[in-house]
Structure formats: structure tokens, C-alpha cells
Structure 1
Amino acid sequence: MIQSKKGQILDSFIYLVVLAMTLMCLLPLLNVAATSFSSSAAATANLVGIIPVEFTTNAYGKIMEDSQFWRSFGISVIRVVLGTGINMLLTVLTAYPLSKSKWEFHTQNFYMWFVIFAMLFSGGMIPTFLVVNGLKLTNTIWSLILPTAVPIGNVILLMNFFRAVPKSLEEAAKIDGASPWKILFSIFVPLSLPCLATLTLFCIVGHWNDYFQAILYITKTSNYPLQTYIQQLSAEFDLSKITDIEKLKKYLAISTRTLNSAKIVVSTVPLLIIYPFLQKYFVSGIVIGAVKE
């Protein structure tokens, strides 16, 4: 089919807008990466574009030479694995009954209002801290996981996805004698893989990028996750404590800007590795989960 001239102009305009938005996202990332590999003088003088100036890896050496970096990295990995697993399990178990019709789940309205209220209003930072402290969870990995164990936004997305599953499949399973647990994990979960993959990505990003919870609940720096460790790194960058001349020269070649750029790159790499494996589910999971019957 031959496209009209008006349609061609519209398509060209859309392509230009998408290209502009892509460059707006990509160029700052390239600049940050280039700055992290540039010298302190070049970064301070704003001479770095998207190509490193006076290439150096001193900033990465400063971040990675401390064993605490690797300990914090391991803590973040454990947090992501445990946190995402708990998030997804509780999301599935919460969304499934809420996806049922009123005659199947008679108290659905009460729980739906409870879910909506929890999404709009929280207890606040101080009450949450008092609960975590009262349960003796401070300075443990659980203080970073349990306060956000049930992500309400994810529950609503998955609930709408479950409602899109044909009723005939569930009815046929019931006729064959399948239990509710069997129906959930044999029918609903496999059919909802696009949505589950998308929500898994949300949870991974949330746990990996969060640093503030550790500031609230973790008092031992040795128990900091990676993002909190990196956030605190600049504050602990004290040259007066360095006695080795060669090491001092190396650190003098590092500016706060190059160090911060290196922190951003290091913390972004794991997500860039994970994203391609889940990207194919991302669009379909969001679109279908957002459509309400």
C-alpha cells in the first residue's frame, strides 16, 4: 500500500522525535562513562564529551581496591535474589484472589480498598523504623527486604493480567479436580510469564538501586549494600589519612566528578547485563497488565 504524503511526513516527524529522545538518554550516559575514564584535570575543566580525555582507570581503582566494595557487592546480590523472590511470591499470592469475581471472593471489596489504601498512604518513615527496630531486624538483610515485601503497584498489574486469563481454562481444570494451588501454578503463572518477567525486572532494579533503606536500618558500614557503600564513598575520601606517596599521587589524579561517574557506571553494569534477557517481555507485560476489564 502506497502511503500518502501526509502519512510520510507524520512518520518522519515521529522518527525524529524518537531519535531526539534516544539521544537525550544516550548522550548523558556516554558522557558519564567517558568522564569516569578521564583525568581529573579534564573532568574539572569540562573538556570531556563522549570520548575519554587522558584515559585513566584511577577512579575505578579507588572504588574496587577496598575489600568492602566486594562485600557490599555480595550483600546487594543477596538482597536482590532474596528480595525479588519474596516480592514475586507475595505478589502472585496476593494478586490471584483479588483477581476473582465478587461471587467467588465475597470479601474482595474490603481487601481491594485495603490494597488501594496501602498504595496511597503509608505509615511513614518513623513508624516503619520503630517496627523494624522493635522486631530486632536492624543490621540484618531482612530490614532491607521485609518493609517492601509486597509491592502494591505490582499486585495491581498482575491482578489485571490474571483477569485476562480465559475463564474456560480455570473451569476445565476444576472439572478435572485441580485444586486452587494447582490452578494458580499450572495455569495462571505460566500464562502470565510476560507480566511476571516485567515485574521481576522492576523488583531487581528497585532492590539494586536503593541505598536509603540501608542508611535508615544499617548502622554497621560492613553491612552496607553496594549503592549505600558507593554513596558514602565520597564522604570517606580523606587524603589526610594516606601516608603512601605513590598512592597519594594516584588519588590526587581523581576528582569528585570522575569518582562519581565511575560509581554510576559500576552500579549500572549489572542492570545492563540483566535487561536484555527480560526486554522481550517488557512491553507486552506492561500493556496487558495495565488493561482493566
Structure 2
Amino acid sequence: MDKFIMRPEDELMHQPDPCENFNESVYSNGFDEKTGVGGWMRLGNRVNEGYAELSVCLYLPDGRIACQFQRPHITSNDKFDAGGLSYRVIEAFKKVSMAYEGDLLIVDNPDALRDPQSLFANGPRKPGSVSWTHEASSPIHGGEPVRDDIPTMYGRDFSRGHFNQHGRVRGRIRVGDEEWPIDGRGWRDHSWGPRYWQVIYFYRLFMGNFSNGDGFMLLKIADREGYSRRIGVLLVDGQYEEITDLDVMTDWTEARDPARVRLGVRTAKRMALIEGEILTLAPLRNRRKADGEVLVSRIAEGFTRFRWGEREGYGMTEYIERIEGDKLAGYPL
């Protein structure tokens, strides 16, 4: 029996829960197969809190990052369109588009993102745009659980419903007078339900695509008690294989950022060793006030080149964890 259900209407907007932190979000990434230029965009509607979370992060050929992070005001959850970032379903489960038009911060040294207040106050900006279409190259993975006892991907207190999909991505990035075509592959997701980033104690998420059409989405997520779950899929010949085991080994920099990863993966059909080199890391953070204290999470977004045997491609490495004092919850695992 299937544990999750997906209906065509789940591609669209959902009725907000009464909880304050209801969030409905869409995310997509895409990278050109020849140049590796690309990035990711996310828009999360927090209608009960009156704003959306807007994130655009583009990785340029010379190591620069062009990005924008805002909290534009919203009053309803009837569409994904805020602050210059929009998302449209062209055909359910088959084709979507995402586009941004507006200013972009130009980050020559990604370490500047560790001091966002100074960067936003003094960082150089250029007008920019990015638009692409995501055309499915895989089935939908996930959905809404059919029973209350079924664990969701991130846990029921972090997105009750969630689905994701690999696909072909075609579009264009413009930053100032420079332009780059995007003709490659990517990954997208859509989630809805309660969400605070600080609910996650730590996780490691890997999303990759290869030029032959294969790919993967792999997640290791742990709670404060030390219990971890390993979730994900390998995409082989257009079909998903659920993983049965996942090992994650990380090489770290002196700044405690991930630099390289080695992933040991097992499905019912095969074993795989996938290696990743993080080419450019965006060291981001999220802060939230709760009960008189400020809770902080590290969100490290790494543009990554992956290898699986003779396959080579691009994608993202995402490390999220609570920061408590000087301690990173998942480091050095």
C-alpha cells in the first residue's frame, strides 16, 4: 500500500493551517550541463505571519555569487508571487516555471555572507533576472501521508506534505550586462504545513543530476537524541529506486564548512559510491526568536560537482543544523 498520495491539485496552493508558522513553499534548482552555471530559487509563503521568504542564489562561472534574500509582505496564500519572484504550474507533474526580476547582491567572496547585515548595507548590487522551465524527467516522489502514523520526509512539524522531482531545466540568467544560458538538469520540490528551520537538529541533503539523465536525492536527518533517518532515491533510467541505506562522509574546511563528500548508497537493486566536490559554498543562517531567546541555524548551500562511476554532473549539497553557543549540532558528522 502506498504511504503517500499525490493529486494534481497538490501542485497548486493549499488551505493554510491555523498554526502561526504555516508555510507553503516551492524550490527549484538548475545548472547548465556545459558550464555548470546555475543556482536555486525558493519562495515560501508564511501567510499567517504576513510575509514570504524569498531566496535567490546564483553561482557564476568565476566563483562569484549573485543573490537576494527578502521577506516581502503577503496577505493571502493564493499564489506564489512576491518580491519579484514567481512560480507557475504549466502542467501538473510535468512542467513548471520559476522566474525572478530585481536587484541582486554581487558577492565576490562567499565569506561575506557570514555577515549579512554588513553585506546588505554595503554590498554592490546589479539588476538581474533568472527564468527557467523545469520539465519532468522522473516520477513525482512523496506527497501527503495517508495516515497519521506515517513519518514525513522532514518530520510532521516541518512540512506535513512534501514532494520532489528531477527534470530538464532550460532558461537564462542575467546579471548586469552578463548573460548565461541554462540548458541542463535540476531538481524541484513543493511543501506545505508547519515549518520552523530550528525544528531540524541537523541534516545533510544531496541533490544531483548527471548528463545521461540519472540522478539522486539523498537525505540523512537526525534528532537531538541521536536517532537518524536515511531517506532518498536514486534515479536510474527514468525511474526512482528507494534507498535502503546511506553512509555520509564529509571532509571539512578549517571554518567547519563541508568541502567534499563521499556517499555510500544501497537500494534493492544496486550499490553506489557517489563523490561530491563543493565548488562554491554560500554560508547562510536563519534566526528566530522564541521564548525570549534567539535560535540560530546554519544553512550551508554548496554548489557541487558530483561523480558516480563514469557519470559526472552538478547539483547541491545542503547542510542544516542548530548552532548552540559555538557548537554546530552535526559537526563533524
| TM-score class, shorter | under 0.3
Greater relative CO, 1 or 2 (CA 8 Å, sep 6+): 1
TM (norm. structure 1) is 0.23
TM (norm. structure 2) is 0.21
Q: Which has the higher strand share?
A: 2
When Rg is computed on C-alpha atoms for both structures, the one with the higher figure is 1
Q: Which has the higher helix share?
A: 1
